[in-house]
């Protein structure tokens, strides 16, 4: 259940292990106090994008909005760091509602591994030989055989991460879409991927799985030697990310498309 409020008297501060982040936490706690997450009106995460993802996963079911401040090297998901007027910044922040992806990865034995991904679900070849994959969307066969290094399914929040590096499209944060993006496709060589409605269920079968083993990764959770991976939006999970009003995630995604 959401705990969104207009006032932010109680703040929980969490920091990465970087010295800059830990020192910032100490200073902020001195000024604003600290509380346990279940009682917090907001969580302030101090670090980089990796720490923000870890924080989102760690408190995924708490319903407490999370506001990141950059004390790391990469800060696309973070706000600028400042120790001044934090409560006022929280009250004025825009809130983006994020649904993660649900991944079910199957081993050859049939054992299923479940995980959630805020950025993307990725499949990677494990050996020198390219992977061979078959892709179905809502029980309709869309690609009989994709020969590649891998493939990923990205959310709008993750579309500017690995998906962008793999030449996938950038998605506006509130777009009801998913990006299906190949990684170094060999055949069909010119296939650039697809934009899919976020209500679909994607099933990727690994062909010749013994000869060409494939791993599946949901953000940081990896399952090796998979034979099938099912991906769809986790409709029952909702996360809340907070961004300064003049530097919202929508604006960052838009600006990223004009970088050169």
Query: Which CATH number goes with the domain that contains 134?
Result: 2.60.200.30
Answer whether residue 2 is part of any domain. no
Answer whether residue 6 is part of any domain. no
Domain that holds residue 193: 101-233
Rounded to two decimals, what is the model's pTM? 0.85
119 is in an annotated binding site: yes
165 is in an annotated binding site: yes
149 is in an annotated binding site: yes
Residuewise pLDDT in 10s, the chain (260 residues): 455 566 799 999 999 999 999 999 999 999 999 999 999 999 999 999 889 999 999 998 888 999 999 998 766 788 999 999 999 999 999 888 889 999 999 999 999 999 999 999 999 999 999 999 999 999 999 999 999 999 999 998 899 889 999 999 989 878 899 999 999 999 998 899 999 999 999 999 999 999 999 999 999 899 999 999 999 999 999 899 999 987 666 776 677 777 76
Based on the fold, state whether residues 63 and 155 are members of the same structural domain.
Answer: no
Based on the fold, state whether residues 71 and 137 are members of the same structural domain.
Answer: no
Query: Distance between CA 28 and CA 31 in Å, rounded?
Result: 5
Q: Where are the beta strands (DSSP E) in 89-210?
A: 94-98, 101-107, 112-117, 120-125, 131-137, 140-148, 150-154, 177-183, 194-197, 202-207
Answer whether residue 215 is part of any domain. yes
Residue 177 confidence (pLDDT): 95
Please tell me the total count of domains within the chain: 2
- Of residues 123, 115, 151, 84, the one with CA closest to residue 216: 123
Answer whether residue 1 is part of any domain. no
161 is in an annotated binding site: yes
In degrees and rounded to multiples of 5, residue 9 shows phi and psi of -75, -35
209 is in an annotated binding site: no
120 is in an annotated binding site: yes
What is the set of active-site residues? 49
Residue 3 confidence (pLDDT): 58
Based on the fold, state whether residues 73 and 186 are members of the same structural domain.
Answer: no
Residue 249 confidence (pLDDT): 67
Based on the fold, state whether residues 66 and 86 are members of the same structural domain.
Answer: yes
Query: Which CATH number goes with the domain that contains 52?
Result: 3.40.50.10330
């Amino acid at each position: 259940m959401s705990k969104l409020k207009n006032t932010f008297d109680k703040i929980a501060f969490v920091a990465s292990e970087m010295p800059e982040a830990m020192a910032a936490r100490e200073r902020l706690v001195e000024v604003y106090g600290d509380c346990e997450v279940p009682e917090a009106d907001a969580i302030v995460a101090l670090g980089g994008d990796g720490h923000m993802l870890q924080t989102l996963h760690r408190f995924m079911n708490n319903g407490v909005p999370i506001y990141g401040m950059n004390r790391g090297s990469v800060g696309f998901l973070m706000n600028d760091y400042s120790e001044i007027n934090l409560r006022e910044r929280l009250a004025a922040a825009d809130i983006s509602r994020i649904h993660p992806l649900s991944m079910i990865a199957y081993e050859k034995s049939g054992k299923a591994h479940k995980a959630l991904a805020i950025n993307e679900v990725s499949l990677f070849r494990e050996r020198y030989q390219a992977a061979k994959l078959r892709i179905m969307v809502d029980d309709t066969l869309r690609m009989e055989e994709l020969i590649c290094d891998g493939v990923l399914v990205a959310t709008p929040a993750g579309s500017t991460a690995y998906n962008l590096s793999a030449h996938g499209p950038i998605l506006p944060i509130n777009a009801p879409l998913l990006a299906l993006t190949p990684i170094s496709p060999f055949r069909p060589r010119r296939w650039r991927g697809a934009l899919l409605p976020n209500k679909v269920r994607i099933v990727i079968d690994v062909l010749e799985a013994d000869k060409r083993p494939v791993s599946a990764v949901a953000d940081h959770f990896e399952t090796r030697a998979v034979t099938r991976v099912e991906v769809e939006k986790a409709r029952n999970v909702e996360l809340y990310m907070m961004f300064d009003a003049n530097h919202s995630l929508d604006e960052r995604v838009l600006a990223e498309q004009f970088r050169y």
